[in-house]
Structure 1
Amino acid sequence: MADPLRRLRRRVQFPAPEPPGISGTGSHLVVCGDDPLAHRLVEDLRRVHGYPVTVILPSRLRNHGPQIARIPGVRLVEAEQLSTETFARAQIRGATALALLRQDDVGNVDAALQAQELNPQVRLVIRMFNMSLGHHIRVLFPNCRVLSDASIAAPEFIAAGLGEVAPSYIRLPGQTLYVARRADVHPGEVVCGLADTNGSDSGEPDLLPPDESRCDLVLARANGGRATGPDQAAARQAASRRSAGWVRLGLRVRQLSATAVRGALGMAVLILLGLLTASVIALWLVDGHVSIADAAYVTLINAVGGANADLRLPVAEKVIQAVAALIGIAMVPVLTAAVVQALVNAREARALGVLQRPMAGHVVVLGLGNLGTRVIQQLRTLGVPVVAIDKTESARGTSPARDLRIPVVIGDASRSEILRRASIHTAQALLALSTDDSINLEAALQGRALKRDLRVVLRLFDGDFAGRVQQAFGITSSKSVSYLAAPAFSAAMLEQELIGTISVSRQVLLGYG
């Protein structure tokens, strides 16, 4: 077991072993894309592994084209469309592997078919959001890996938002290792220390320090008879949800009270109910032979028009009966109007993204793109209450969120009123996952202004900027999807046996078999 553990390495410091099928004989790798994932992947292939790379992108001047162009030893092919001619210019016939990274599942499949016509032996690595389609694609292409960067990164963002360690497992022959806090693990099950997350002088976690006793994040041996770190994390979340339930109950009572007295219609209902109650009490007091229950029964029958006039009754009882009948007549249209108004308000609230019920202890997810969609789906699977925010109704994740009965607030999350609609003041965490770093940062600062102890996780591409943001504003955590996912894409292109990836802050440890 010691040998695989020694091969757990920090990818930015140690080159991985050269895989079979790639050597220095002129074989090259082709990457299609110009987004952050393409940028990170090309950097990894060139600077860490040292392989020749050709990048097909629409323009060297757009998106991450300028940064990719500055990477030494990268050949660029500019083309708006992926076609056989484009692949021929990229010398696909001599390529060992091709990564198709555009965010268009069908377009990537079409490009894979064209590339395979020119080079049937090329290894394909296809980025896909729809993994159901991806499973079918594997049948079409025998030498193919289908990966979803959103699915790879989502657990890391979720764990950071819940204040837990991401569920990372490394499976070795005869045993399974997992990442956990040292406090959650029996000392006899600790295999090695991974990181001191309290950080060095720079504030960053210290990975693989010489003195393993400093590490509060460890690699442990799974024991079927004892709860693992992820199991204990799930138990903590369950306890947190139970305590949040009492908060939601209090909010619900307050909301119902506020709704009951809001507006003229609510006041009319309260007045009529008050008069009906007064009629019951008056009848009980006037007629000494009637119990309070009988008085309520008689008044209710009178109110709904079920009683006949009785001229032999005393004047006081006649007045009470008449008042009850008038109240009953008034109650029918008032109650009908109240029901109609409630339905209209509910429809308007749903359209505006107003929560239908109080929320507490929930996670607010900003951005319903690929990553946000995966995050809300996995949070719902974990049983964690979620509220989603996106600026547009047409976002990819809006429909899946509503299918899961997750409240969706439509609006600009950098505005405090939008965050208030998402009950940010009672949330446990805000995950800012849009593709716009500035919107993520602004929303995070607004959230912190509304709730000082809010746990905030930012999606940011630039590592240096992320570090400055965390120090300057006290942001809990920041992560990059491309940084988390690029190692898996790189390993797939190089046909390496990657047995596990462990994310610590914005750094990644890789385990090779």
Structure 2
Amino acid sequence: MLAEALIIVVGGDDLAYEVCAEILKTRGHEVALVWKHDDERADRRFTQMAERLAEQYGENFRLIHADATDGDALRQAGLKEKDNPNLGHRFFALVAVSPSDRLNLRIALAARDINDSVRVTIRQFNPLLGQKIQEGLRQNCTAISPAAHAAATYAAAAIDPACRYAMPFPTLETLAERRSRPQSSMNEGDEVGEMRTSGLFGFSERTAAEFGVVGLNVDQAERRINARIVSINGAYPYLCAGDSSASDSELIARKLKAEDHLLVFGAMRALKRSTAEFRERRPWRLSERLQGAFNDIATGIRRTEPILRAVTMVSLGLFVCFSIFFSIVLKLNPLVAVYYVVTTMTTVGYGDITPCANCTTGALSMPTVVALFVSMCAMLTGIFVFAVFTATITSTLNAAQIRRLRGLRQIHRSGHVIVCGSGNVGSLVIDYLRELGEEVVVIEKNPDTMLVELARDHKVDLLTGDVTNDETIAFSSPERAKALVGVTNSDTGNLEAALGARSRSPADSPLHVVLRVDDRDFGESIQRHFGIASFSTSELTAATIAGLARFESTRGRFQVPRPGGAGLATYQLAERLQGEENLPPPSPPDLAARGESVRWIPLFVWRESARGKGMALSIHNFRGEVEPGDRLLFMVPLDQFVVGAGKDSA
């Protein structure tokens, strides 16, 4: 039987393979993977990966071993003109996920030249450029940045260890709009269930005891944590089938038990409050702060220039000699002599004391002449010494400023988040954490101009150094940090930074660590042996790209372990703008043909007020709660679409 949709995937890395696998998990799709490696070894590995897919999914998967830049490769994959009488498939889509932004755009344009109605999803590392491309192609096109997509989960997992997946909401705004959004729009509202978005929403899976909602029913628990309870032990309290409610009234009314596993979705600002008790770190004591200040002063003295130390010692010696000399020659009290030397060397010269009382009349005695010459030497010495001191102090202040921006120093903070790496992923993680009100310490070997400006404005603390160096990690005070996020481009570098930081944290309360590990097998090994949570950008992005290949409204796809270890439950997140008709999410053709409605879980709507300000509102049903013009965020259990699922699948 001919599949309803043909999806052409262009790419030759793990991300392309995982995108194909995710698409093939759902019914009605045929996938053609187009790529050819120049390197023989890489091409052999790629072919073996493709053969595994062909063995598992049979005729629904084909490998087109051709150069993707060749215009005939897309036609060979099955893409046809819109008016071709032998069209065959009802739906065509192109997914370009090669490592080259330029190649992805080139392939997308070539596909549009063949069939201008083909749905296009392209990988773009620069999210702002991707947004421009998406706006330029106008319709049926989505550009996604793996870095920007993954950064939300890294930031959310740093403040909530139980976070499974996170995303900005609403995501129909551009990245530039999110960055320019005023801080006042990021604060929660006063009423329960209504909050001004922080830009970051996420899923958290914990027990009812950990959420602090034992003995409450679902409605009461949602009001307490200010978030939506999506599932309880894998069952959905609120569910819709089309525009009808299919909620479980008994589950909604039941009192929550301590051991109940809850999957909760809400603003990370609300969720992080429920996790605060797990992350308290001992603050700096006053004595420790004073000791730290003394150590900084001692370090500054050790780092002074040798010429300054020499000038200081000589000037002190001359000061003592001058004081003794004038005390004897001018017969002054020692304290008065010191006062006279100070006023002379600083060139203040009040005139109340002078070595020559009658210099304008009469001859000068030898002691007076000597006193005059010594006074002039004291003046010249003072000018020289204070000139050196002024220049040195200026230089020292400049050096301290540079060291604060591009050097190493001890960070005297507690409860902060350490971010290792500020590349494409790290810079966005920093933005999200700052929006959530977290104090951020960034460790980066080669900081860019924007990061330096943030440090200059005291918005982040910047340590310029190697994250794999234990001394660099020690400067960030990991023993008092809330979490560490390792998002450099090196898997081993991220792990080394994490282990170095954990070695300095208390054994009874190890530092919470979130790592970017692009090698999934390596990440699973880290999780098993070190208990450190890790995510790969391809792992977080592949499923989302798979959903975007078919549905433009897709905003994410994630998996949650079922209670009792009964496999994984997969969900797809979607966001749609409600038109004047205010229709519910449509059913796929195969469900509609059987007279079934898609089952979906309502989460939130984003509603614009008359004053032009938006607000996120939690919802439980479609009828009576969703209005025209709302941006509806919902999730769909994918069990009802998986290959081999029947009508009664859960």
TM over 0.5: yes
Alignment of 1:173-184 (within 5 A): 179=203, 182=208, 183-184=210-211
Correspondence 1:48-127 to 2 at 5 A: 48-49=26-27, 51-59=29-37, 61-62=41-42, 65=46, 66-72=48-54, 73=57, 74-79=61-66, 81-93=68-80, 96-127=92-123
- The residue type equivalent to 1:117 in the other structure is D
**Percent identity for Structure 1 against Structure 2:** 24
Tell whether 2:535 aligns with 1:468.
no
Distance 2:636 2:337 in 1: 82
8 A contact 1:193–1:212 mirrored in 2 = no
In the superposition, relative to structure 1, how do residues 27 and 503 fare at CA in structure 2: closer, same or farther (>3 Å)?
closer
Match of 2:19 in 1: 41
Deviates most, 56-65 or 484-493: 56-65
Instruction: Supply the AA of the counterpart residue of 1:338.
Output: T
Q: Does 1:304 align with 2:346?
A: yes
Seen in structure 2, the aligned counterparts of structure 1 residues 272 and 51 have a Cα distance that, compared at 3 Å, is: farther
Greater helix proportion: 1
Which structure's CA Rg is the greater one?
2
Give yes or no for contact 2:283–2:413 (8 Å, CA) kept in 1.
no
The gaps in structure 2 that reach 5 residues or longer are: 81-88, 171-192, 195-200, 223-227, 234-254, 359-366, 562-567, 573-634, 638-650
Moved more, 298-307 or 341-350: 341-350
Could you tell me how far apart the structure 2 residues matched to 1:245 and 1:129 are?
Answer: 44
Task: Indicate how the Cα distance of structure 1 residues 249 and 184 shifts in structure 2: closer, same or farther if over 3 A, else same.
Answer: farther
Between 1:380-389 and 1:121-130, the stretch displaced more is: 380-389
What pairs with 1:340-351 in structure 2 (closer than 5 Å)?
Answer: 342=396, 345=399
Match of 2:512 in 1: 455
- Counterpart among 529, 537, 541 of residue 485 in structure 1: 541
Q: Which amino acid aligns with 1:259?
A: G
Where does structure 1 lack aligned partners over 5 or more consecutive residues? 1-22, 197-210
Aligned-partner SS, 1:258: helix
2:9 pairs with one of 15, 20, 31? 31
Q: Which amino acid aligns with 2:454?
A: L
User: Structure 1 residues 346, 31: CA separation in 2 closer, same or farther (over 3 Å shift)?
Assistant: farther
Q: Which amino acid aligns with 1:98?
A: L
State the match for 1:160 in structure 2: 157
Equivalent residues of 1:184, 1:232 under 8 A apart: no
Distance 1:194 1:260 in 2: 60
Q: Secondary structure at the match of 1:135?
A: helix
Q: Considering only aligned residues, what root-mean-square deviation do their CA atoms show, in Å?
A: 5.1
Identify if the C-alpha distance between structure 1 residues 255 and 194 changes in structure 2 by more than 3 Å, giving closer, same or farther. farther
The more displaced of 149-158 and 68-77 is 68-77
Q: CA-to-partner distance for each residue in 1:281-311, whole Å, 9 max, x for gaps?
A: 999x99999999x999755432222326423
Aligned in 2, Cα 1:421/1:228: closer, same or farther, shift over 3 Å? closer
Q: What TM-score, normalized to structure 1?
A: 0.70
- CA 1:68–1:253 in 2, change beyond 3 Å: closer, same or farther? farther
Q: Does the CA contact (< 8 Å) of 1:112 and 1:124 recur in 2?
A: yes
Residue 434 of structure 1 aligns to a residue whose secondary structure is coil
Residue in structure 1 matched with residue 408 of structure 2 by the alignment: 355
Name the structure 2 match of 1:151.
148
- Give the Cα separation in 1 of the matches to 2:232 and 2:126: 34
1:232 and 2:304 correspond = no
- Matched position secondary structure for 1:256: helix
Matches within 5 A, 1:67-466: 67-72=49-54, 73=57, 74-79=61-66, 81-93=68-80, 96-141=92-137, 142-163=139-160, 166=163, 179=203, 182=208, 183-184=210-211, 187=216, 188-190=220-222, 192=229, 194=231, 213=257, 214-215=259-260, 217-219=262-264, 229-230=270-271, 232=273, 243=283, 251-263=292-304, 264-265=306-307, 267-268=309-310, 271=313, 300-307=342-349, 309-312=354-357, 325=379, 328-336=382-390, 338-339=392-393, 342=396, 345=399, 353-355=406-408, 358=411, 360-361=413-414, 362-383=416-437, 384-390=439-445, 393=446, 398-405=448-455, 407=462, 409=464, 411=466, 413-420=467-474, 427-451=481-505, 453-463=510-520, 465-466=522-523
Displacement, 1:121? Answer: 1.3
Q: Check whether the contact 2:95–2:549 (CA below 8 A) recurs between aligned residues.
A: yes
Structure 1 CA distance for aligned equivalents of residues 167 and 527 of structure 2:
24
**Is this contact kept in 2: 1:276–1:299, CA < 8 A?**
no
Hey, what's the Cα distance between the residues in 2 that align with 1:425 and 1:460? 23
Q: Aligned partners of 1:137 and 1:375: how far apart in 2?
A: 24
Question: Counterparts of 1:291 and 1:376 in 2: how far apart (Å)?
Answer: 60
* Preserved CA contact (<8 Å) 2:419 2:440: no
